[in-house]
């Protein structure tokens, strides 16, 4: 199990370790289990700066999609080739030709070989994707219904109300215009 401190250190946000722990989030699993709203609330409660919230949200999304490896995989070790040694081999016509140089070999490390797919991790990643897609579908439905509501607005009602307000303004200007030394001006 990965601690919240280890997870935050990988994205240079370890200064939020204690506030997250005080909020009851002590492991990466605790962080990944939060809904989008809960994550936003947690980030606000620990006083996270706006730029840091974007960084953490990206980290959470990436971790849900790809999994988490707190130690980066080291680059493969490549053994440099030995200096080429040319051996003279006699050709069939009597002239000597250099022998071919063998290709350099690569030392394969254990980290170069992919590990077996973790079904639990894969299942949690799929659950995360499903939740994200469902959220996107719900948002799409909300936007669509709002746009349809805008289409159904009867602007004639608003035009009539504006005309009535303009008539009241004209009356008020006439009334206050008759009284001397009054600087009441109506904005239109």
Q: Give tens-digit pLDDT for 85-108.
A: 555 555 555 555 655 555 555 554
State the pLDDT at residue 14: 92
Q: What is the mean pLDDT of residues 67-81?
A: 53
4-66 CATH fold: DNA polymerase; domain 1 (1.10.150)
Higher-pLDDT residue of 51, 177 = 51
Which pLDDT does position 72 carry in this prediction?
Answer: 47
Q: Which residue has the tokens 């009535």?
A: 164
User: Considering the chain, what percentage of its residues have pLDDT values greater than 70?
Assistant: 64
Q: Which residues pair with 85 in a beta bridge?
A: none
Closest CA to 33 of 46, 24, 19: 24
pTM: 0.38
Domain boundaries, the chain: 4-66, 119-178
- Between residues 125 and 45, which one has the greater pLDDT? 45
More confident residue, 183 or 153: 153
Please indicate whether residue 182 or residue 24 has the higher confidence score (pLDDT): 24
Could you tell me what percent of the chain has a pLDDT over 90?
15
How far is it, in rounded angstroms, from Cα 138 to Cα 35? 15
DSSP string, 106-137: -PPPGGGSPPPP-HHHHHHHHHHHHHHHHHHH
């Amino acid at each position: 199990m990965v601690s919240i401190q280890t997870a935050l250190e990988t994205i240079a946000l370890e200064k939020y370790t204690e506030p997250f722990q005080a909020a009851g989030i002590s492991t990466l699993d605790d962080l990944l289990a939060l809904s989008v709203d809960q994550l936003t609330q947690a980030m606000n409660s620990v006083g996270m700066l706006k730029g840091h919230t974007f960084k953490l949200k990206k980290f959470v999304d990436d971790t849900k999609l790809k999994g988490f490896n707190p130690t980066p995989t080291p680059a493969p070790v490549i053994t440099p080739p030995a200096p080429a040694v040319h051996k003279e081999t006699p050709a069939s016509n009597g002239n000597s030709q250099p022998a071919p140089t063998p290709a350099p070999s690569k030392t394969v490390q254990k980290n170069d070989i992919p590990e077996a797919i973790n079904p639990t991790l894969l299942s949690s990643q799929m659950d995360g994707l499903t939740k994200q897609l469902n959220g996107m579908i719900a948002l799409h439905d909300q936007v669509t219904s709002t746009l349809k509501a805008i289409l159904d607005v009867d602007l004639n009602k608003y035009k009539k109300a504006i005309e009535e307000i303009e008539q009241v303004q004209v009356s008020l200007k006439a009334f206050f215009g008759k009284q001397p030394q009054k600087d009441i001006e109506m904005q239109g």
